[in-house]
Copies of this chain bind each other. A is one copy, B any other.
Amino acid sequence: MIQYPNGVKKINQPKLKQQLKKLAINSYKNRGMDFEKEINLTNQFYVETKRAVITKRPTPINVVKVDYQRGAKITHAYFEKQSTTDYNGIYRGKYLDFEAKSTQSNTALAIANITIHQRLHLQRVIDQGGIAFLLISFSKRDEVYALKAIDFLKFIEQESRQSLPYAWIKSKGMRIAIEFQPRIDYLAAIDEWFF
């Protein structure tokens, strides 16, 4: 489906395509893409079964140049970081807000993955009485954990570490079963914690 703008040569070599694909997969934007897809499938299931309405905020993009002569084609833009979390919505009448992170590490999640803006946003949601949490995937272990945002925020306030240890996440958080449908039933943790 890729359309090439005028003047850009079309790449036909399968090998080069493969390399570019690999590059894309390893690049910043695509890290944890599978995890994102699994969450989106889960949310779709929740909406269809009327269990909750939780959606992903689109990736913010800084649009620099638009060609209005070609049907508002964006010709120059950059990905931006979310200043809030990636997901929010409503569950059992309550406002719910979370950030999802995937790591290839088996031992820890780097705290820098959750930006200062996102931490502030999570704190604000808590202050307003909302449900705030993190969803963390240790992709190599094939394990997913929900972690209350309040526990995360306390940790970074009290500890001087640069990362959340796997063992700590395992003890503080709640493991989410990975199943066929819903794929990652994180609302099970929310039921236990908040209702």
Contact = CB atoms under 8 A, between A and B. Distances in A.
A194 interface: no
A129 to B, nearest CB: 4
Interface string A11-44: 0000000001001100111000000000000000
Given A47-B124, A58-B58, 8 more contacts: A23-B68, A28-B72, A53-B125, A55-B84, A72-B79, A74-B74, A90-B125, A90-B128
Interface stretch (A91-99, A163-171, A178-186): A91-99
Contact of A58 (B3, B57, B74, B75): B57
Contacts of A92: 128-129
Interface stretch (A59-67, A135-143, A148-156): A59-67
Given A128-B91, A130-B90, A75 B5 contact: yes
27 contacts: A2-B64, A3-B76, A4-B76, A5-B65, A5-B75, A8-B75, A24-B66, A27-B68, A47-B124, A53-B121, A53-B130, A55-B57, A57-B58, A58-B59, A58-B60, A58-B61, A61-B77, A72-B79, A74-B74, A74-B78, A75-B75, A88-B88, A90-B128, A91-B128, A92-B128, A93-B129, A95-B95
A163 B64 CA distance: 34
Contacts of A65: 2-5
Interface residues of A, number: 55
A187 B29 CA distance: 36
B84 A90 contact: no
> Which 8 A-B residue pairings sit nearest by Cβ, starting from the closest?
A90-B95, A93-B129, A58-B60, A74-B77, A95-B95, A90-B128, A90-B130, A58-B58
A76 B75 contact: yes
